[in-house]
A and B are shown apart, each in its own frame.
Chain A
């Protein structure tokens, strides 16, 4: 399996999924196209491109040539992003960022505890003060009002 063959297959599956999802929307006619008209057209083109990628670009590197040396770091950062997504409004900006930055500095980067704590608190409260108080950008305070 090559990188392009896998990419093409994923595009083909995605095109099929989009076409399937448009079934609940009116397609309309050529004269009055409905909300499903262009998505279906685009899904068809995406499918064709997927097929082309599978068959035309056969000389792409093999899938096993892909290396993920930064994978663990990346997984931790993605987890932090999704944590911020789900908790920023529940816990508030400052509590969420204290947890996220503390985790990244202290656990992922293994900084010395005082450095990690100092940076975490300084960045969290400093950024809140700059954006919320100075620039009047509204940041969430959460259920506790912190």
Chain B
């Protein structure tokens, strides 16, 4: 405990240095803008800002990018409440009751509760991150290649299960991502794989062009042709304060949303989105007046908004402690660390205490700044929505090109982004999720190295994966995920057989 407090003091001294403090505030403000603008999610925002962090030290760069991540969670609620347009996917549930409250003239309290809930959840989950990540990293120091392979396999299967939609399609997307991640030089043998003579592909496909293409460009392709004329509600800022009853009704949903969001955040998948759905369902089930949900229940705003902020912190636990990203946004943050020459993994916290604890302290600071700035500045942020989409999307496209080109100063990366954009657009049309592709690209080198090292250790025997207890536990978890995914198919089959028997019995009668 004393060591944690001492480390936190170190973190605060880092975060309060003028440069880092400035970048924390900038990250929060840019994140809020990113959250407000539909079509520019936190992933695209972080990817586009990545090149601008090259000139910064790693601590300032990570503080800026993390600020964008949790700032976007705050910003997303504004458009959900005022316009019924989720600024980013995690704010979908807030649209339901937030917008209903706005229509009843209670937009101010809805925005205030969303901000307060986000602040409480953000701060509480940073405490969770602070206490959970270091022991987890110490535990992971004992991991060998078999444990890492099993952990990554489990992570990818959980991602496939939790992402939503068809598990078969999600698994196919994970494998596609892993295959993309294998393009380039094989580090163990030096062979070029699938590079077709393009020298620039020797270093492999970067996560930034893939993420920007699949999320930024694909979003533009899908929405640019649609008419977009939002009806903007203007909140009366003098009515921001919620009533005493609204405060009382929100406190428990905020607490439950925080715990739920943080725990779900640690699990791979689109955690911040899933956590909001689960929080909404829990609040509705626990409510004494479930009929109020959908008609402006403040619990329907407080719970999901707290959950998505807590989940964004929870997602940083495995990334910082194990070097294993649980979703596309932590994957890009991980790539940012690697670009700055820092190797993420269990030794990260021990070897880079200034960055880790500086980030933790900056998150306390950032959450407080967001609470202070967001409500008074809501009128300014909402003005970004007045920019017509036909002006906005060429601008986003331009930033995508700059962001992707600047990472390696390579036109090949712009080509990869363009290809991924087209692929993402087609995949969306065919109901495929694209997040698993990004994660597959990031994890491919680690998973391949772990598998090959584990097989070399065991003289080619796959038994090593179930002979070592930690690895075996992870694999049992992975098996469980497969069984859970198969359950509806088996049940459907049994129902069909049962119906067949019934109809035959009817015919016999």
Contact = CB atoms under 8 A, between A and B. Distances in A.
A77 to B, nearest CB: 6
A37 B452 contact: yes
B421 A78 contact: yes
Nearest to B414: A85
B186 A35 contact: yes
B394 A78 contact: no
A37 B178 CA distance: 13
Contact of B52 (A14, A33, A137): A137
Interface string A29-70: 111111111110011011001101100110010000010111
A119 to B, nearest CB: 7
A127 B402 CA distance: 9
B223 A70 contact: yes
A140 interface: yes
Given A70-B225, A78-B422, A57 B451 contact: no
A49 B405 contact: no
Interface residues of A, number: 69
Contacts of A131: 51-52, 402, 406
B398 interface: yes
B221 interface: yes
A127 B48 CA distance: 13
A101 B394 contact: yes
Interface string B448-466: 1001100110011110000
B169 interface: yes
Contact of A42 (B168, B179, B395, B398): B179
Contacts of A109: 390, 394
Given A26-B191, A34-B189, A72-B225, A101 B411 contact: no
A56 B399 CA distance: 42
B52 A30 contact: no
A3 B431 contact: yes
Interface string B219-234: 0111111100000000
A8 to B, nearest CB: 9
Nearest to A109: B390
Given A56-B489, A78-B221, A136-B55, A31 B456 contact: yes
Contact of B405 (A29, A56, A139): A139
Which secondary structure dominates chain A's binding surface?
A: helix
Nearest to B390: A109
B221 A84 contact: no
Contacts of A57: 166, 168
A144 interface: no
B409 A100 contact: no
A46 B172 CA distance: 6
Interface in B215-265: 217, 220-226
Contacts of B220: 77
Given A32-B455, A74-B222, 16 more contacts: A33-B455, A35-B189, A71-B225, A77-B220, A77-B221, A81-B417, A85-B414, A88-B405, A89-B411, A93-B402, A97-B398, A100-B397, A100-B398, A105-B391, A124-B398, A137-B52
Interface of A: 3-4, 6-7, 11, 14, 18, 21, 25-26, 29-39, 42-43, 45-46, 49-50, 52-53, 56-57, 60, 66, 68-74, 77-78, 80-82, 84-86, 88-89, 93, 97, 100-101, 104-105, 109, 111, 119, 123-124, 127, 131, 135-140
9 interchain residue pairs of minimum CB distance: A70-B225, A30-B460, A73-B225, A31-B460, A81-B418, A35-B186, A85-B415, A74-B221, A35-B191
26 contacts: A11-B172, A25-B191, A25-B193, A32-B455, A39-B179, A42-B178, A49-B171, A52-B168, A56-B489, A69-B225, A73-B224, A77-B224, A78-B418, A82-B415, A85-B415, A86-B415, A89-B411, A93-B405, A97-B398, A100-B397, A119-B391, A123-B395, A127-B398, A131-B402, A138-B406, A139-B402
